[in-house]
Chains A and B, each alone.
Chain A
Amino acid sequence: NAGVTQTPKFQVLKTGQSMTLQCAQDMNHNSMYWYRQDPGMGLRLIYYSASEGTTDKGEVPNGYNVSRLNKREFSLRLESAAPSQTSVYFCASSRGFGNTIYFGEGSWLTVV
């Protein structure tokens, strides 16, 4: 009963390095999301994919790119990591856009 699976769980990057966070869901959901969570700021939407083949910017898209690889998978890429991108990243999915969202367990990223 996996739900939403994110990898890696923890990562330390140097400023300027690139990396990709992977996310997969096994609930046959149409919509997928990437959020970041910072202390005192709740969760902020980075990018979302309302359906397979589409991606859109959220509140804080700068410095990130996404790929909806197929219905199951939605990856988040940091091309040139910055210390301001140190955060906890959550992938999530929903049956349809605006339906109940189910979150993964999070990926802790530190940029030094």
Chain B
Amino acid sequence: TQLLEQSPQFLSIQEGENLTVYCNSSSVFSSLQWYRQEPGEGPVLLVTVVTGGEVKKLKRLTFQFGDARKDSSLHITAAQPGDTGLYLCAGSNTGKLIFGQGTTLQVKP
């Protein structure tokens, strides 16, 4: 069974701080996706990484796929209250997505 472990599960920080969320697995994935989910809504795709070592930037968010394609990280620079939400990583290998358990981020003004 493929598993994706996210850490930390909860993160509460002040506006302006930096943070990193990790997504780790013992399995190799052909691609890895990061989603953001707000209360009462479905997850929304932020980015897909497919190449080992790949780095993608989305404004203040930086996503990295590990060289071995088993892990990924999400780094947020100068977090803002609008970044508050549940962040989910999901790996794909056979076409099916396997989700991590999520990281709940709270950014206080």
Contacts and interface: CB of A to CB of B under 8 A. Distances in A.
Q: Which residue among B6, B40, B94 has the maximum number of chain A CB atoms within 10 Å of its CB?
A: B40
B42 A97 contact: no
Interface stretch (B65-73, B74-82, B99-107): B99-107
A105 B42 contact: yes
Interface residues of B, number: 22
Q: Which of B94, B99, B100 has the most CB of A within 10 A?
A: B99
A103 B92 contact: no
B44 interface: yes
B97 interface: yes
A111 interface: no
B9 interface: yes
Contacts of A74: none
Contact of B96 (A41, A42, A58, A106): A58
Interface residues of A, number: 22
Contacts of A103: 42-44
A43 B99 contact: yes
Contacts of A92: 42
Interface string A43-75: 111001010000000100000000000000000
B101 to A, nearest CB: 4
Contacts of B33: 100
Interface of A: 4, 35, 40-45, 48, 50, 58, 90, 92, 97-98, 100-106
Given A43-B43, A98-B94, 12 more contacts: A35-B99, A42-B4, A42-B99, A42-B100, A43-B97, A50-B95, A92-B42, A98-B92, A100-B45, A101-B97, A103-B42, A104-B42
30 contacts: A4-B42, A35-B99, A40-B9, A40-B101, A41-B101, A42-B4, A42-B6, A42-B88, A43-B90, A43-B97, A44-B99, A45-B97, A50-B95, A58-B96, A90-B42, A90-B43, A92-B42, A97-B95, A98-B92, A98-B94, A98-B95, A98-B96, A101-B45, A101-B97, A102-B45, A103-B43, A104-B42, A105-B41, A105-B42, A106-B40
